[in-house]
Amino acid sequence: MHAGTERLDGIFQALADPTRRAILQRLGGGPAGVGELAKPFDMALPSFMKHIAALEQSGLIRTAKSGRVRTCTLEKGTFELVDSWLDQQRRLWSQRTDRLEAFVTRDKT
């Protein structure tokens, strides 16, 4: 398996969880502390930290500790990797649908 494929697998696995997607959406507005990010969720902090760890391991966020506060920040480069993969998929499927359309509409005479 290609290393890039393994990385994408981890990213999409992290994105599969609605809590993690909500965290990423919030971080789209800028860095935030773990405590602030955890407030909207009805779960214990250790459970929430598992989501943070999954996002960090996938490369979607990075965390930095300053004193007692752990701040989370989006890793934009990882999103560029996902965007690039999605772009390739769009082009591939667009070409396939174009060929299908040409086949279906071709004059059968």
Q: Are strands 69-74 and 61-66 parallel, antiparallel or unpaired?
A: antiparallel
Q: What is the pLDDT of residues 47-58, one digit of tens each?
A: 999 999 999 999
When pLDDT is cut at 50, 70 and 90, the band that residue 97 belongs to is confident
Instruction: Evaluate the CA torsion angle 68, 60, 47, 19 in order and state its sign.
Output: positive
Asked if residue 98 has pLDDT above 80, the reply is no
Give mean pLDDT, residues 8-13: 92
Query: What global pTM score does this model have?
Result: 0.77
Q: What is the DSSP letter of 99?
A: H
Cα(83)–Cα(24) distance, integer angstroms: 15
Q: 88 and 54 in contact (C-beta within 8 Å)?
A: no
Domains in the chain, number: 1
Q: What percent of the chain has pLDDT over 70?
A: 91
The CATH number of the domain holding residue 81 is 1.10.10.10
Q: What is the DSSP letter of 67?
A: T
Structural domain range at position 60:
3-105
